[in-house]
């Protein structure tokens, strides 16, 4: 019997390894990208030095010298450019946050109405969606600002809406709450109700899973919110009064003033984004098998409870990812505020501050970083919520 000879595998060179070649090309690509940005950076710094433009963030400590018509924190002309950045940032966060809340509520209502068996309601929802979704957002902002709010009467001929509420070309004027000593007990009672509602909701869920019996969480929580803070309010001697706006000279003084720029921008963002959210809600509901609805009806559930307890929870896995994109779009679309003079970050910081200081590189970099950070925070929160809302398969 001839001896068996073992052949050694043929060794390959280092370069013929696909893994090694991929590593080399990745290193070369990374080096090229770094070299490109270094070249761009050095070229930018050289051009700025040639034009005598200073670099750095020292301008944030300089006096701004211009006023802002709306600010959520104390501000006047004596504050610095750093303060203008905070004022613009808070105004952007305000209009974006309110827009997300209002657009979500309106979008869910219209999305459900779009599937209503009532012919008139479903057609009205369809007309609303097709009308406002296909009109550019900037044009809608101009419509609400120039055609609606700028056509309101002067302060002396203001429209009186309810107790202490006035509407005119300068905006909406509302009573301002003045909190006195002891109101902290009312706030504490309200916070206690929130915590108690969360605990009650979890207990009711576990109870339903164990016994199949439901507990009226909503009615119980509503009663707690009505009773406990009210009791705390009266027992502490009504520590709250209102400051009503009064016409003095050419404008109203006191109270809360909502400028027309904010009203127009918020209205346009809400109505425009709600059309897309409504379609997302409609597609999410239609993605749930009709057998689920029939099974719920067979168990004796009414249409309202079937929608709330069976259809919507299953549709959320389709709705939430698309809803995240609309929240991001709304936040970025808020930068159109500069078209009507609403003092958001782009208008105040990337507009006036940039023109006065000439620090284009730093101002634009800070502005872009803010929008990037806001988008990442929204995505992070929605991904967390999406993970918690996913159906648990057993």
SS3 at position 246: strand
Beta strands 251-253 and 256-258 are: unpaired
Alpha helices in the chain (DSSP H): 18-50, 81-114, 119-133, 137-142, 183-211, 217-235, 260-286, 290-298, 303-306, 312-333, 345-347, 354-357, 360-389
CA–CA separation, 371 and 99 (whole Å) = 16
Q: Quick: pLDDT tens for 224-248.
A: 999 998 999 998 888 888 888 888 8
CA distances from 172 to 97, 159, 251, 253, 261 (A): 20, 10, 12, 12, 11
CA dihedral 293→299→300→304, nearest 10 degrees, is: -30
pLDDT band at 79 (very low <50, low <70, confident <90, very high): very high
Evaluate whether 91 touches 106 at the Cβ level (below 8 Å): no
Output DSSP code: residue 309.
Answer: I
pLDDT band at 393 (very low <50, low <70, confident <90, very high): low
Q: What pLDDT band is residue 8 in, cutting at 50, 70 and 90?
A: low
Q: What would the pLDDT profile of 322-372 be if each residue is shown by its tens digit?
A: 999 999 999 999 999 989 989 999 999 998 999 888 888 889 999 999 999
CA distance 339 to 334: 10
Residue that has been written with the tokens 């576990």 in this structure = 206
Beta bridge pairs of residue 179: 240
pTM to 2 decimal places:
0.81
Contact 264, 339 (CB under 8 A): no
């Amino acid at each position: 019997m001839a001896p068996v000879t073992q052949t050694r595998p043929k060794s390959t060179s280092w370069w013929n390894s696909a893994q090694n070649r991929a590593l080399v090309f990745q290193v070369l690509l990374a080096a090229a990208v770094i070299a490109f940005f270094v070249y761009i950076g050095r070229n930018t710094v050289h051009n700025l030095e040639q034009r005598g433009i200073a670099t750095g963030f020292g301008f944030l400590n300089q006096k701004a010298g211009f006023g802002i018509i709306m600010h959520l924190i104390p501000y006047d002309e004596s504050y610095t450019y750093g303060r203008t950045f905070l004022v613009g940032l808070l105004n952007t966060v305000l209009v974006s946050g309110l827009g997300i809340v209002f657009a979500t509520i309106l979008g869910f209502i219209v999305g459900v109405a779009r599937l209503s068996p009532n012919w008139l309601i479903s057609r009205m929802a369809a007309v609303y969606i097709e009308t406002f979704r296909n009109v550019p957002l900037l044009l809608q902002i101009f419509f609400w600002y120039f055609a609606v709010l700028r056509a309101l009467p002067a302060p002396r001929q203001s429209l009186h809406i309810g107790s202490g509420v006035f509407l005119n070309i300068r905006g909406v004027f509302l009573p301002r709450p003045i909190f006195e000593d002891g109101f902290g007990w009312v706030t504490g009672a309200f916070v206690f109700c929130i915590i108690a509602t969360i605990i009650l909701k979890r207990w009711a869920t576990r109870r339903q899973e164990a016994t199949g019996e439901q507990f009226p969480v909503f009615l119980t929580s509503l009663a707690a919110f009505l009773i406990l803070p009210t009791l705390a309010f009266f027992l502490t001697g009504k520590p709250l009064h209102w400051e009503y706006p009064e016409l003095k000279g050419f404008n109203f003084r006191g109270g809360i003033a909502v400028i027309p720029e904010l009203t127009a921008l918020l209205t346009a963002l809400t109505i425009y984004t709600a059309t897309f959210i409504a379609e997302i809600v409609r597609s999410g509901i239609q993605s749930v098998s009709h057998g689920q609805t029939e099974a719920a009806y067979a168990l004796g559930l009414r249409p309202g409870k079937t929608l709330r307890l069976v259809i919507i929870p299953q549709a959320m896995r389709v709705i939430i990812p698309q809803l995240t994109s609309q929240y991001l779009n709304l936040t970025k679309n808020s930068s159109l505020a500069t078209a009507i003079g609403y003092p958001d970050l782009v208008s105040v910081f990337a507009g006036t501050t940039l023109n006065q200081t000439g620090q284009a590189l730093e101002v634009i970099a800070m502005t872009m970083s803010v929008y990037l950070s806001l988008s990442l925070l929204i995505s992070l929160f929605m991904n967390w919520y999406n993970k918690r809302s996913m159906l648990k398969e057993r």
